[in-house]
Amino acid sequence: MYALKNCRIFTSEETLENHGVVIEGSKIKYLLPENLLNPDIQSFDLQGLSVAPAFMDIQIYGGGGSLYNSDISENTIAKTYQEIRRSGTTHFQITLSSTPLDVMLEAITVAKNYIQNGEKGLAGLHLEGPFFSFPKRGAHVAEFIRKPSETELETLIHACEGLPTYMTIAPEEFTENQLNLLLRSPIKLAAGHSSATYQEAKNAFSVGIGRVTHLFNAMSAYQGREPGLVGATYDSEARASIIPDGIHVDFASIRISKQIMGKRLFYITDAVTADVSGDYKFIFAGNHYTDTKGTLSGSALTMNQCLINSVEKVGISLEESLRMVSTYPAEVLGLDDYLGKIKSDYQADMVIFEENFSLKGLIEGGILEMFSEE
């Protein structure tokens, strides 16, 4: 057991000064005023630094130079985890872009094995595609985009048993029976890469799709006579991810969306890594990535940069921006009963940072690590 003291604590529910956090094993035991801390408990003086829940990224494609699509291995997942934890992320969904069925099944098996082997960080698998609207495929390989079939869906549902799985689909490409297959399964569905009309999107939300992938990107736009998927998202209770790099989405669009959507909007990195070894070839273009044809693809963001951009470029308060990189993603994945807050009995996963947002340390599963100066 140990305590953190002399720090500013963003719990997600409130901001505390002159309080300590007591950690026992892998969990938060309690928070209380510093003058009530048991003097016999080992304590760490954080010298005025800030503490907040660790970050969670539900859409990242790889790290350390390896894309999951190109190297479907536990090593790629581990490399991704080791890279992102330095920027405050302790949980993530490794993301697979549109591929043939056999590759999807391999990716599912590898992700399952990673978790079963007790490795850290992986909150699940995000299957982004392949059941997309062809005109909205973005940087996804054209030959892999296809219509769903009940046989393929049943195969995927069976394969994903025991693995937390999130799937982005274009709902207008599905028959009612096909969509019901997924809705009855444990797979969490998001609408994206979609040409859906406003009414088609509203219908999809009404039957149970409660999430939207990277708002504005690769979807039917908001227009006066046809509000599209963007308009339907605004006019619903659906939660949506958004990429705050100022390239995929203008910062003003994020600010306007936040005013409309409130707590329903959260951040992802959508980050890729420089890897041209497979079907997906991404090239670093200074502050983002493109494919070999120059099509905008993934970002070069970290979750900590999402936080910085949110506060400094979008103009969202630090407290709310922190929720958008931790609390809200945990809620979207259904992990909010033990992640995304600094609260008694929650997992002790926290970031430690300076006033300028520079990360100084990480607490993961109760283990404190202060980062060395680089």
57 is catalytic: no
Give the residue from 263, 318, 313, 275 showing the smallest Cα distance to 71: 275
Q: Tokens 């120059």 appear where?
A: 294
Is the bond preceding 186 in cis, omega lying within 30 degrees of 0? no
3-state secondary structure of 195: coil
Tell whether the torsion through CA atoms of 177, 141, 238 and 63 is positive or negative.
positive
Exposed, middle or buried by CB within 10 Å (0-12, 13-18, 19+), for 38?
A: exposed
Which ranges constitute the DSSP H helices of 44-170? 74-84, 101-116, 150-159
- Alpha carbon 289 to chain centroid distance? 18
- Identified catalytic residue from 57, 270, 275, 291: 270
Using CA atoms, how far residue 374 sits from 268, 358, 359, 366, in Å, is: 26, 12, 12, 24
Contact call for residues 289 and 282 (beta carbons, < 8 A): yes
Pairing of strands 62-63, 66-67: antiparallel
Q: What are the catalytic residues? A: 270
